[in-house]
Amino acid sequence: MKTSTVVYQGDIHTECQHLRSGQIIHTDGPIDNFGKGEAFSPTDLVATALGACMLSIMGIAAKTHDIDMFGARAEILKVMAENPRRIARIEVDIFMPEKSYTDKEKAILTHAAKSCPVGRSLNENLEEALTIHWKDIS
């Protein structure tokens, strides 16, 4: 089964549908490249997918090791380069909930974030910067 379909809707807009769930997202070109910035650009989706993947893989590790990370969130910064136009750097800041984590739990979750398949699939010339913000309440 195919994963998704993408339909070009004109004016640099697309409609993307996940075939298994039927979920739909829209894209627009970025304002610095003929778009209006009305939705995620395709490169925004790549950067966002990295953060979502990191949290998902951390979630799997958390579930496996009985670690509570409910409410963790990621903020993403995508930096573009020119000639050729490409994503040069993605910064992912992960903010953990206010809980006490042991050094072992921190190591497990950090390793999980760095093991995400999206990150492993990106070009080795793309710089990834990961910062995990632990809010220990000890």
Which pLDDT tens digits describe the chain residue by residue (138 residues)? 999 999 999 999 999 999 999 999 999 999 988 999 999 999 999 999 999 999 999 999 999 999 999 999 999 999 999 999 999 999 999 999 999 999 999 999 999 999 999 999 999 999 999 999 998 776
pLDDT at 138: 60
Domain boundaries, the chain: 1-40, 41-138
Domain 41-138 of CATH type 3.30.300.20: yes
pLDDT at 135: 85
E strand or H helix at 116, and its extent?
none
pLDDT at 109: 98
